[in-house]
Amino acid sequence: MKAIAPMLATIGKELPRGDGWVFEPKYDGIRVLAYVNGRDVALVTRNGLDKARQFPEIVDALRALEQRAKRPLVLDGEIVAMHGGVPARFQELQGRMHVTDASAIAHLRDASPSSLFAFDLLLDGKKTLVTEPWRVRRKHLAALLQPPGRTSALRLSDVGENGEAMLRTARRNDWEGVIAKRADASYEPGRRSRDWLKLKIEHRQEFVVGGWTEPRNTREHIGAILLGYYDSNGDLIYAGHTGTGFTRKSLLEMYHRLAKLERKSSPFTTTPKTNERPHWTRPSVVVEIKFNEWTGDGKLRQPVFIGVRDDKSPREVTHEPESIAKPAKRARSTTRPTRAGTKRRSRQPNYAALLDALTDIERAGGDGEIELPEGALDVSHLDKIFFPETKQTKGDLMRYYVRVAPYILPAIADRPLVMKRFPNGVASKGFFQQRAPAEAPDTVRVEAVADVGLRTQDRLIGGDLATLLYVVQLGAISIDPWHSRVQSVTRADYSIIDLDPGPRAPFSRVVEVAHAVKDVLDELHLHAVPKTSGASGVHIVLPLGRGVPNDGARTLAELIATMVAERNPKIATVERSVGLRPRGAVYVDYLQNIRAKTVAGVYSVRARPGATVSTPLRWNEINEQLDPGEFTMDTVPPRIEKIGDLWARGMKAPNSLAGVLTRG
């Protein structure tokens, strides 16, 4: 098949007036022409690269189309990352653009699926459609893709006649913009035509990277990349620099990419002055940049790195004219001045005084400093609502952990902590953090913990009050400790049977399975502490002696879990495939007993409405009346006062594994 160059759009400055225009979303992905015949599928980018290998699901869909149509086809469209069944932003495609490893491609196909949104048809069998008006081509395309697939990797692009409405939808859904097309226009391969208008609602375009600057402080590899575009004389004009928008990974990738291209002299016609020491490169990497506006002197305001584009050649990168975007409005600041907190002195942890100090700080504006046995700790935003349903604040959470400190601290002593942080409360999205922040005060315990490979990673280690309250200050709601201690991360000191109710399993089913576990434990002469998970499950935890490797803990849990599942196949399963589990069964998960895996620790609050707590139980409390929702931040401290620390009591004596082993 002969290669065709795609038709290109001109930047539109306003919505075109008059009839005869149609409007499509500006899909935010990779523009490709799809060549399909009985033998082959090619997905050719504007740069002439074939991306078929990277997007097998699209190739399969096109093959299936060819099987039905039984004729060669050439489609024009955009490869778009899909997120929850709807088109996502270009960033989501990043991970797939450059992958060449076959197994990685196969994995990504499901992990981050993509679709080809077809918006034009250039060849239909022997019939060339490029000279036909858009209207006719669209009709052929729609007929070809009948019925329109909604879940497939090949979809018909949206189109509408109402430009205003399409633009509103675009703004609401955070699209990049809208493409206006003349309904009676033919397809002009390779031309940037005025019959297609690109209406951009945000400032975004490609730039050529001409170098990078040294990082400052704790930043790694690269401070900022230096950006430019070509003017009509072929001069590379410096347009600004940006260091935001990178993940740790994309920053490292950019560094590797640029380091290979380093050269002595600046590629810019006029060498820019940079804040940090510059490194110059051959101008061959093209990046997509989002920015607020062009400044008066032709620089970018607030540029943000979006991704690398290898589907555009550097020479194509020019200063694109303004479209219909307006500079984003500055959001009003919501922070308020900080106030000095109450300072108190104590060598011993004086819990009552600490509770008072936290209350004072919360009432006095939320920010302050507390005095702990390990030293001072800054806290802030204690008045922020973390649990909207119950109106409990970050201060409430911190006071809870102070109250249970005598019980939770020994339980997490020497254990690496994984944080799931919710700086804005349970209603907003949280994020995991493994690494100890570089800026952690030296009152908190940070240690270099051996990784799986030959490296180490700085992690927070539990056991003291400063570290506990520091992670809460960072927005961690639950406390998630490793099953092993820093002294010996390869050896677990407890083994966990994790009862996870399936979607249709009531809590009473969990109770039944917990009983079944208890029966097996009794038979094997093992003892364990049951606790609510704080969510909808139960954890049953067996203390181990020293010297049990992680896989020993797993094997023990596996043995018990398997026996439980075999004896109670209707209500308990160890089947890992969700689809194969019996309806309403409880998943008896023994696979949490693995290095660096965590379950919510004992006495940990969970990031769920109601601030429920993972609470140790007496076996006789596990009955039909048990309601895990009763154990909350408010009810657990008085419960401990009343019945004591069931965890410490139950975990004191390690199990003897002799009986288990002799059993075969």
Partner DNA sequence: GGGGCGA
Partner DNA sequence: TCGCCCCAACGCGTA
Partner DNA sequence: TACGCG
Which is closer to DNA, CB of 163 or CB of 416?
A: 416
Q: What's the closest the beta carbon of residue 460 comes to DNA, in angstroms?
A: 11
Is the distance from CB of 423 to CB of 475 less than 8 angstroms? yes
By a kind-dependent CB cut-off of 5 to 8 A, residue 282 interacts, out of Mn ion, DNA, none, with none
Q: According to CB under 7 A, which residues from 616 to 635 bind DNA?
A: none
Q: What's the closest the beta carbon of residue 275 comes to DNA, in angstroms?
A: 6
Binder to DNA among 117, 207, 229, 246 (CB under 7 A)?
A: 246
By a kind-dependent CB cut-off of 5 to 8 A, residue 37 interacts, out of Mn ion, DNA, none, with none
> 648: buried, middle or exposed (CB in 10 Å: 19+, 13-18, 0-12)?
middle
Q: What's the closest the beta carbon of residue 246 comes to DNA, in angstroms?
A: 6
Rounded distance between C-alpha atoms, residue 25 and residue 488, angstroms = 56
Q: Does 480 bind Mn ion (CB under 5 A)?
A: no
Which is closer to DNA, CB of 228 or CB of 240?
A: 240
Q: Enter the tokens of residue 12.
A: 């539109």
Nearest residue relative to Mn ion (C-beta): 589
Binder to DNA among 282, 384, 515, 527 (CB under 7 A)?
A: 384
In which residue are the tokens 């290669």 written? 3
Q: Report which secondary-structure segment, H or E, holds 584.
A: none
| Per-residue contact flags (x/-) with DNA for residues 633 to 652, judged by CB under 7 A | --------------------
Q: Does 319 bind DNA (CB under 7 A)?
A: no
Q: C-alpha angle 525/528/532, rounded to 5°?
A: 150
- DSSP string of 603-645, one letter each residue: T-B-SSTT-BB--B--GGG-STT--GGG-BTTTHHHHHHHH--
Residue 67: CB atoms within 10 A of its CB come to: 9
Which is closer to DNA, CB of 33 or CB of 561?
A: 561
Which is closer to Mn ion, CB of 291 or CB of 587?
A: 587
Q: What's the closest the beta carbon of residue 542 comes to DNA, in angstroms?
A: 17
- DSSP string of 366-424, one letter each residue: S-EEEEETTEEEEE--TTSEEETTTTEEHHHHHHHHHHHHHHHHHHHTT-EEEEEE-TT
- Taking each helix axis from N to C end, the angle separating 102-111 and 56-69, rounded to the nearest 10 degrees, works out to 80
Single-letter amino acid code for the residue at 131: T
- Least Cα distance to 302 among 241, 347, 348, 219 occurs for 241
Q: From residue 427, how far is each of 331, 338, 381, 604, 631 by CA, in Å?
A: 21, 25, 16, 18, 20
Q: What's the closest the beta carbon of residue 589 comes to DNA, in angstroms?
A: 5
Q: Does 241 bind DNA (CB under 7 A)?
A: yes
Q: According to CB under 7 A, which residues from 109 to 168 bind DNA?
A: 109-111
By a kind-dependent CB cut-off of 5 to 8 A, residue 537 interacts, out of Mn ion, DNA, none, with Mn ion
Binder to DNA among 99, 159, 325, 594 (CB under 7 A)?
A: 594
Q: Which stretch binds DNA (CB under 7 A): 4-12, 483-491, 551-559, 609-617?
A: 551-559
Q: Does 554 bind DNA (CB under 7 A)?
A: yes
- 646 by DSSP, 3-state: which? helix
| Per-residue contact flags (x/-) with DNA for residues 331 to 370, judged by CB under 7 A | xxx-x-----------------------------------
Q: What's the closest the beta carbon of residue 610 comes to Mn ion, in angstroms?
A: 17
Q: What's the closest the beta carbon of residue 472 comes to DNA, in angstroms?
A: 9
Which is closer to Mn ion, CB of 134 or CB of 494?
A: 494
Q: Does 177 bind Mn ion (CB under 5 A)?
A: no
Residue 657: CB atoms within 10 A of its CB come to: 18
Which is closer to Mn ion, CB of 314 or CB of 501?
A: 501
> 117: buried, middle or exposed (CB in 10 Å: 19+, 13-18, 0-12)?
buried
Q: From residue 364, how far is each of 360, 379, 404, 472, 633 by CA, in Å?
A: 6, 12, 24, 19, 23
Q: What's the closest the beta carbon of residue 520 comes to DNA, in angstroms?
A: 18
Which is closer to DNA, CB of 8 or CB of 364?
A: 364
Binder to DNA among 202, 206, 374, 500 (CB under 7 A)?
A: 500
> 331: buried, middle or exposed (CB in 10 Å: 19+, 13-18, 0-12)?
exposed
Rounded distance between C-alpha atoms, residue 150 and residue 148, angstroms = 6
Q: According to CB under 7 A, which residues from 86 to 105 bind DNA?
A: 102-103
399 phi, psi to nearest 5 deg: -65, -35
Q: Are strands 538-543 and 293-294 parallel, antiparallel or unpaired?
A: unpaired
Q: What's the closest the beta carbon of residue 426 comes to DNA, in angstroms?
A: 12
> 458: buried, middle or exposed (CB in 10 Å: 19+, 13-18, 0-12)?
middle
Which is closer to Mn ion, CB of 29 or CB of 537?
A: 537
Quick one: CA torsion of 583, 585, 587, 588, rounded to 10 degrees? Answer: -150
Q: What's the closest the beta carbon of residue 418 comes to DNA, in angstroms?
A: 7
Q: According to CB under 5 A, which residues from 9 to 48 bind Mn ion?
A: none
Q: Does 106 bind DNA (CB under 7 A)?
A: yes
| Per-residue contact flags (x/-) with DNA for residues 192 to 231, judged by CB under 7 A | ---------------------x-xxxxx---xx-------
Q: Does 202 bind Mn ion (CB under 5 A)?
A: no
Which is closer to DNA, CB of 418 or CB of 651?
A: 418
Q: How many residues bind Mn ion (CB under 5 A)?
A: 4
As separate numbers, helices (DSSP H) first and strands (DSSP E) second, the chain gives 14, 35
Q: Does 498 bind Mn ion (CB under 5 A)?
A: yes
Binder to Mn ion among 66, 414, 500, 512 (CB under 5 A)?
A: 500
Q: According to CB under 5 A, which residues from 521 to 550 bind Mn ion?
A: 537
Q: Enter the tokens of residue 90.
A: 């270009």
Q: How many residues bind DNA (CB under 7 A)?
A: 80
Which is closer to DNA, CB of 223 or CB of 530?
A: 223
Q: Does 551 bind DNA (CB under 7 A)?
A: yes
- Least Cα distance to 632 among 482, 477, 472 occurs for 477
Quick one: CA torsion of 290, 296, 299, 302, rounded to 10 degrees? Answer: -40
Q: According to CB under 7 A, which residues from 421 to 480 bind DNA?
A: 421, 423-424, 431-435, 437-439, 452, 457, 473-475
Q: According to CB under 5 A, which residues from 581 to 600 bind Mn ion?
A: 589
Residues that bind Mn ion in the complex, under the rule CB under 5 A: 498, 500, 537, 589
